[in-house]
Amino acid sequence: MACIFCSILKGEIPSKKVYEDEFVYAFHDIDPKAPIHIIVIPKEHCANILEVATDSDMMNHIVKAIQVIAKQEGVDAKGFRVVNNCGPDGGQTVEHLHFHLLGARQLTWPPG
Ligand code: 5GP
Ligand code: ZN
């Protein structure tokens, strides 16, 4: 089954990389909802947060990446938001686990 984010990982679809390590890749969202809008994904395909094996280190690597990216992008001091959309009601459109890192503006609450 075709997965857009797996195609990005293979380089078949171009992306603007902001971070990469052995387990994680991060790139600018194609349709940014804030001045900083970065998508953070595991290199290993996983459909959504319900499918994450809790005995794996995947989430640790994701959190590490978010910490590095927040500092790299200069949003660590003022703050930012990390979003995971899961399933239809959550608004998930790409079925490869991903975390949105949004910042560089005042974000409102609640989300839509
Ligand atoms: P979701 O709605 O699943 O939580 O988020 C998917 C995100 O992926 C959206 O914000 C969308 O703009 C982004 N996106 C979808 N296709 C592409 C693409 O081909 N390249 C990039 N850079 N972002 C994409
Ligand atoms: Zn995938």
- What's the pLDDT tens digit per position in 39-55? 999 999 999 999 999 99
Q: Position of tokens 């974000």?
A: 107
* CB-defined site of ligand 1, < 6 Å: 4, 13, 15, 27-31, 39, 85, 91-94
Residue having the nearest C-alpha atom to atom 24 of ligand 1: 30
Q: What letter represents residue 86's amino acid? A: C
CA of 69 to the centre of ligand 1 (A): 18
- For ligand 1, atom 4, which residue shows the shortest CA distance? 92
pLDDT of residue 103: 98
Residue 6 backbone dihedrals phi, psi, to 5 degrees: -65, -35
Below-70 pLDDT ranges, the chain: none
CA-derived radius of gyration, the chain: 14
- Amino acid 112: pLDDT: 87
Residues with CB under 5 A from ligand 2 (ion): 3, 5-6, 45, 96
Q: Which two tokens stand for residue 54?
A: 């809790």
> How many other C-beta atoms lie within 10 A of the C-beta of residue 24?
22
98 catalytic per annotation: yes
End-to-end CA gap in the chain? 30
How many Å lie between the centroid of ligand 1 and the Cα of residue 88? Answer: 15
